[in-house]
């Protein structure tokens, strides 16, 4: 069963949508050409994740202007200038600027929110809760002030809860607040399978649902290698080991870095979402979406298969899960709701 998301009035460019959703690009519908770009995309937070995301957006020329905002004076300006100076070498014309003021982000089509404190060794995502909730609330109110028709892609952790904070603070509908988590978790899962089997990552198909954390749910039923079920290649013990490594993927990187957390893969995941929206690609990607009855849940964000395109969230795809998968998703949903309850209790 599929529950369509409510259509959004947001469009990257002015003009009517094509009557045939599978029609090829034409002069009548320039917004659907492969080289389409937004007018302005803003990245909030000029740390490792934010700066890397801004660079990727510029190199792909997904916007004519890329803005980086950070409270640290000089950091976004310096990084933005450095990135712009790479343009003649990399061959892109997207202008990059840094600022402390949200006024420079006015009219942005999309905001990628990476602001917040970084996770340290031994720190759970829930430890980040109170501080990052305050930061995301402030950021979301500023976004609503300067760009009330924009789309928010949330990257800050704890991801599922920060999405709820952003949706409440901004007043945006669920179509325009989406979290980047499942793409990252799925990429880690696929990368570990590729290493285990010594095959190309391009031949690994997989899907990870649920909350972004230790309760994430890799779906074995959708995992294949070149269309061949993973169970053909690996026994249950090896598969479980790969799933467990996926669940601990972020912590594994934190353990190596000591003073930081992952940023190459998270930024790539966020930019994949940006590209799907800007180019109206209608990609089916695992993202954190606000549920309104899908999978039997409502009132919070959870990782589910989403169709992304012009306007943000176009659709949520409901899968027929096995009893074991449904149980694991319920466990993950309960973990997200518990974290939400912790935040609600702290704010009382």
Q: Of the listed 32, 212, 256, 280, which one is catalytic?
A: 212
Say how far residue 259 (Cα) sits from the centre of its chain.
23
Q: Which residues contact 112 (CB under 8 A, 6 or more apart)?
A: 41, 42, 43, 44, 50, 53, 57, 153, 155, 270, 271, 274
- Is residue 94 within 8 Å of 61, Cβ to Cβ? yes
Burial 208-246 (b: 16+ CB within 10 A, else e): bbbbbbebbbbbbebbbbeeeebeeebeeeebeebbebb
If you ran DSSP here, which 8-state letter would residue 115 be given? -
In the residue annotation, 29 being an active-site residue is answered as: no
3-class DSSP state for residue 342? Answer: helix
Name the E strands within 192-248.
Answer: 204-205, 208-209, 217-218, 224-225, 228-229
Integer Rg of the chain from CA: 20
Q: In 3D, which of 198, 194, 200, 205 has the Cα closest to residue 228?
A: 205
User: If 0-12 CB within 10 Å is exposed, 13-18 middle and 19+ buried, where does residue 61 land?
Assistant: middle
- Strand pairing class (95-99; 63-69): parallel
Please tell me the distance from the alpha carbon of residue 240 to that of residue 257, in angstroms, as a whole number: 25
Say how far residue 47 (Cα) sits from the centre of its chain.
16
Residues tagged active-site: 212
């Amino acid at each position: 069963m599929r529950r369509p998301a409510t259509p959004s009035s947001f469009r990257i460019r002015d003009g009517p949508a094509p009557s045939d959703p599978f029609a090829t690009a034409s002069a009548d519908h320039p917004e659907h050409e492969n080289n389409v770009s937004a007018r302005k995309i803003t990245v909030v937070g000029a740390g490792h994740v934010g700066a890397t995301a801004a660079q990727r957006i510029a190199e792909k020329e997904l916007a004519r202007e890329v803005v980086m905002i950070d409270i640290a004076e000089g950091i976004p300006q310096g990084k933005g200038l450095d990135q712009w100076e790479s343009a003649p070498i990399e061959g892109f014309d997207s202008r990059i600027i840094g600022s402390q003021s949200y006024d420079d982000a006015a009219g942005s089509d999309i905001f990628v929110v990476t602001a917040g404190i970084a996770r340290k060794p031994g720190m759970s995502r829930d430890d980040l809760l109170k501080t990052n909730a305050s930061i995301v609330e402030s950021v979301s109110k500023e976004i609503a002030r300067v760009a009330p028709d924009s789309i928010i892609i949330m990257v800050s952790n704890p991801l599922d809860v920060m999405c709820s904070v952003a949706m409440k603070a901004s007043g945006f509908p669920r179509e325009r607040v989406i979290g980047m988590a499942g793409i990252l978790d799925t990429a880690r899962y696929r990368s570990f399978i590729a290493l285990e089997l010594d095959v190309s990552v391009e031949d690994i198909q997989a899907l990870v649902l649920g909350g972004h954390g230790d309760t994430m749910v890799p779906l074995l039923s959708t995992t294949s290698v070149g269309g061949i079920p993973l169970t053909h290649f690996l026994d249950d013990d090896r598969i479980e080991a790969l799933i467990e490594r996926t669940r601990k993927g972020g912590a594994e990187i934190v353990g190596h870095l000591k003073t930081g957390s992952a940023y190459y893969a998270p930024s790539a995941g966020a930019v994949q979402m940006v590209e799907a929206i800007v180019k109206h690609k209608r990609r089916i990607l695992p993202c954190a979406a606000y549920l309104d009855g899908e999978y039997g849940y409502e009132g919070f964000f959870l990782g589910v298969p989403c169709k992304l395109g012009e306007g943000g969230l176009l659709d949520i795809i409901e899968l027929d899960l096995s009893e074991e998968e449904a149980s694991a998703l319920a466990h993950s949903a309960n973990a997200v709701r518990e974290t939400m309850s912790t935040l609600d209790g702290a704010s009382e």
